[in-house]
């Protein structure tokens, strides 16, 4: 499985940052492109349904969670596997690091370079949106 990692140090404590970006059911606190969201507990686990511009719907299944992280997966037609992790690594009392990790396997191996570039931009954009929601951008 391939992996993209992106992170930035933040001049806020981990708890304050996690309160804004760590709620799997509250992604609209920072993700402005999400028009609506709902979460339900299913036999498979917690599923978040996001409504995107144009009415497109995305369902994400949480696969792991902890005090300062969660991981979800979703079915993508261009991927054999896709897992995304949002985490906050505590530092000093007034500092932490936001880290985003995407593990993936594209269906088309020749698309690896383009997919890696796309997912890197995705992670950078999400961190930028998170910082904006935290009043840091």
User: Could you report the per-residue pLDDT of 7-38, keeping only the tens digit for each?
Assistant: 999 999 999 999 999 999 999 999 999 999 99
Token match 């995705």: residue? 122
pTM score, whole prediction: 0.94
In CATH, what number does 2-24+63-133 get?
3.30.530.20
CA 14 – CA 34 distance, rounded (Å)? 24
Q: Which tens digit of pLDDT belongs to each residue from 36-49?
A: 999 999 999 999 99
What rounded mean pLDDT belongs to the chain?
Answer: 96
* pLDDT tens digits for range 95-125: 999 999 999 999 999 999 999 999 999 999 9
Q: Kindly indicate the confidence band of residue 93, based on its pLDDT and cuts at 50, 70 and 90.
A: confident
The 8-class DSSP code of residue 60 comes to E
Task: Give me 81's structure tokens.
Answer: 């596997």
Q: Which sequence spans correspond to the domains of the chain?
A: 2-24+63-133
**Element holding 104 (H helix, E strand):** strand 96-106
pLDDT value of position 92: 83
Q: How far apart are CA 124 and CA 13, in angstroms?
A: 20
* Cross-strand bridge partners of residue 37: 50
Q: What percent of the chain has pLDDT over 90?
A: 97
What pLDDT does 80 receive?
97
């Amino acid at each position: 499985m391939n992996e993209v990692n992106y992170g930035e140090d933040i001049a806020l404590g981990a708890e304050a940052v996690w309160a804004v970006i760590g709620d799997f059911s509250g992604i609209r606190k920072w993700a402005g492109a999400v028009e609506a969201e709902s979460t339900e507990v299913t036999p498979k686990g917690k599923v978040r349904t996001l409504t995107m511009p144009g009415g497109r719907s995305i369902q994400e299944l949480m696969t792991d969670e902890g005090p300062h992280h969660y991981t979800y997966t979703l079915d993508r037609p261009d991927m054999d596997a896709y897992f995304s992790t949002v985490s906050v690594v505590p530092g000093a009392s007034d500092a932490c690091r936001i880290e985003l990790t995407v593990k993936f396997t594209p269906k088309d191996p020749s698309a690896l370079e383009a997919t890696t570039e796309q997912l890197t931009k995705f992670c950078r954009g999400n961190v930028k949106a998170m910082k904006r929601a935290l009043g840091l951008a």
